[in-house]
Amino acid sequence: MDPITVAGLVAASAAEILKLVGEAVETSRAGNESAALAKLDQALSQFEASIPGTRHELDAVKARIEQQIRDKFPPPTEGTPV
C-alpha cells in the first residue's frame, strides 16, 4: 500500500480516501495484534516451563521442614526416659 500523504489525500476522491484509511487501519491493527500475541505467547511459554522447577523447589522445602522437625524433636535414644 502507498503511504498516505496530505497531498495524496487532498487529491484523492472520498471513496479512495476511505479505501486508503481502511487499509491503513487494517495494517496497523494486524501489526499490533501480532506483536501483542507474540508477547503473550512468549510470557506463557516461559511461565509454563517454570512450573516443574517450582515443584522441585516445594519438594526441597518439604525436605528441609522435615529436617527441622527431626532436629527439634529428636527420636528418643536407648536408655533415655520417655
Partner 1 sequence: VTRFIIAWLVLFCATACTGFKTPAYSTLTAMVGATDLARQQLPAQCEKAQTGAVTKATTEAEARASTSLIQKRCDAGLAGIEATGQTIRAARDGISDTAAALNDPHVLTWAKGAVDAYRNLQQLLATLDVKLPTMPGGT
Which chain residues interact with partner 1 by CB under 8 A? 4, 6, 9-10, 12, 14, 17-18, 20-22, 24-25, 28-29, 32-33, 36-37, 39-41, 43-44, 46-48, 50-51, 54-55, 57-58, 60-62, 64-65, 68-69, 72-73
54 vs 79 by CB, closer to partner 1: 54
Least CB distance from residue 47 to partner 1, whole Å?
5
Residues 6+ apart with CB under 8 A from 40: none
Burial of 12 (C-beta count, 10 Å sphere; 0-12/13-18/19+): middle
72 vs 79 by CB, closer to partner 1: 72
Contact 82, 76 (CB under 8 A): yes
d(C-alpha 30, C-alpha 24), whole Å: 10
